[in-house]
Amino acid sequence: MPFTGVSAMDRKREFVALAGVEGANISELCRRFGVSRQLGWRLLKRHGAEGAAGLAERSRRPKTSPTRAGADIEAAVLAIRAEHPAWGGRKIRRVLEMRGLAAPSASTVTQILKRNGIALGEHGGGAKTFTRFERAAANELWQMDFKGHVATADGRLHPLTVLDDHSRFCLVLAACADEQAETVKAHLTQAFERYGLPVSLITDNGPPWGTGRLARRGGRVWTELGVWIAEQDIRVLRSRPLHPQTLGKDERFHRTLKAEALAGPPFAGLAEAAPRLDAWRDIYNTQRPHEALGLATPASRHILSPRPYKPDPEPFAYAPDDLARKVDRDGRISFRGRALRIGRAFFGRTIALRPTQKDGAFDILFRATRLATLDLNAPPGHLLNV
């Protein structure tokens, strides 16, 4: 039986006494007591040097701990965590590195937090990383959505968010009083003026960028806001119905926003919410390490778009083989003896029908955005592949 448990001291004393007998076989004695020869000889050595005191249990904790962070580093870890309660070991370690400090490992940072009674996981810190597909360069695709609505002391707040797919840079985080088209247009205009235009912009199918429904004979119904975005030569994409993962990065951003910026007491109102969200957006873009970016910050991966915003879009040059048509007041065009409903939001605009490789099939385009595909072999007015 090894030297553990309540009667360990008794067994140690017995072991020492038997080992002191002339001619005692120490190896066999160790085997009988169930301890290694190294432990047995170490115990006899301590007893010989210290007497009975040498039999007392010794702490296995090393006198020095090279891997344990110093008091100054521990204080820095706790200060960062106090400022950002949702951050875990990896993010805090990266911030320490960015500040030029001798950062311990992420696991050591986590142990510091646990040692100080800070539970991980409640707000987010400590979760495993998750790899998402991303566009190859900044401004290839922006994702846009409202983060539902948030209660304030005097009403409701509707946070509007726009995120770059490649860099995760937050281009818009606006404290809006509603989810109306003019509100979105105003904030998008500011983003376009500051950061330039993306190649594509994806939204869900609901208001204000879409109506959330299909036209009676096929084809998604467009709003004036969606047409205004497309008129900037931005390809307007829509998420698949009932598939929120299409906007996965913006949805994940909303979780972070909720955990880090919206977790405290409700804002008094929009006047308080706006500067608070602005301040947090700056932290998110320039200070907060992003695990999907290898703990880089979004700002370190984002660049301005070379495509400037133009309040008055220039006429669009369709391809020579495209068949141009102007949309009438009822939102219709005439093509090959058919009246096709495009949508009243396109009134006065020129769209084009581009022949595809399939005989009798045409892509319907508005500038850079494909609206639908017309198949002349299908029933009249039927639009496919919206």
pLDDT tier at 243, thresholds 50, 70, 90: very low
| Poorest-pLDDT segment among 46-55, 86-95, 188-197, 227-236 | 86-95
pLDDT at 50 over 90: no
Is the separation of the CB atoms in 172 and 161 below 8 Å? Answer: yes
Spell out the long-range contacts of 248-251 with Cβ–Cβ below 8 A and sequence spacing 24 or more: 248/132, 249/132, 249/134, 249/143, 249/163, 249/165, 249/168, 250/143, 250/144, 250/145, 250/161, 250/162, 250/163, 251/145
The DSSP code sequence of 254-317 is: HHHHHHHTSSSSPPSSHHHHHHHHHHHHHHHHHTS-BGGGTTB-GGGT----SS---SSPPPP-
Q: What distance lies between CA 44 and its chain's CA centroid?
A: 60
Given the structure tokens 């083989």, which residue do they identify? 321
Please indicate whether the domains covering 64-128 and 141-204+239-300 agree at the CATH topology level: no
Of residues 284 and 71, more confidently modeled: 284
- pLDDT, mean of residues 47-66: 70
- Give the separation between CA 133 and CA 322, rounded to whole angstroms: 34
pLDDT tier at 352, thresholds 50, 70, 90: very high
According to DSSP, the residues that pair with 330 across neighbouring strands are: none
pLDDT at 2: 66
Single-letter amino acid, residue 38: Q
Distances 91 to 113, 117, 276, 293 between C-alpha atoms, Å: 13, 19, 22, 11
pLDDT at 340 over 90: no
Nearest to 232 by CA among 366, 372, 370: 366
Select the CATH number that applies to the domain covering 64-128 from these four: 2.40.390, 1.10.10, 2.60.40, 1.20.1300. Answer: 1.10.10
Is the separation of the CB atoms in 335 and 324 below 8 Å? Answer: no
pLDDT tier at 382, thresholds 50, 70, 90: low
pLDDT at 221: 77
pLDDT at 18: 81
Single pTM value for the model: 0.66
- What is the CATH topology of the domain spanning 141-204+239-300? Nucleotidyltransferase; domain 5 (3.30.420)
Q: 50: Cβ–Cβ under 8 A, 6 or more apart, which residues?
A: none
| Poorest-pLDDT segment among 156-170, 291-305, 318-332 | 291-305
pLDDT tier at 184, thresholds 50, 70, 90: very high
Q: Where are the domains of the chain?
A: 8-55, 64-128, 141-204+239-300, 323-384
pLDDT at 295 over 90: no
pLDDT tier at 75, thresholds 50, 70, 90: confident
CB-hemisphere CA count at 13 Å for 378?
14
The DSSP code sequence of 306-371 is: SS---SSPPPP---TT-EEEE--TTSEEEETTEEEE--GGGTT-EEEEEE-SSTTEEEEEETTEEE
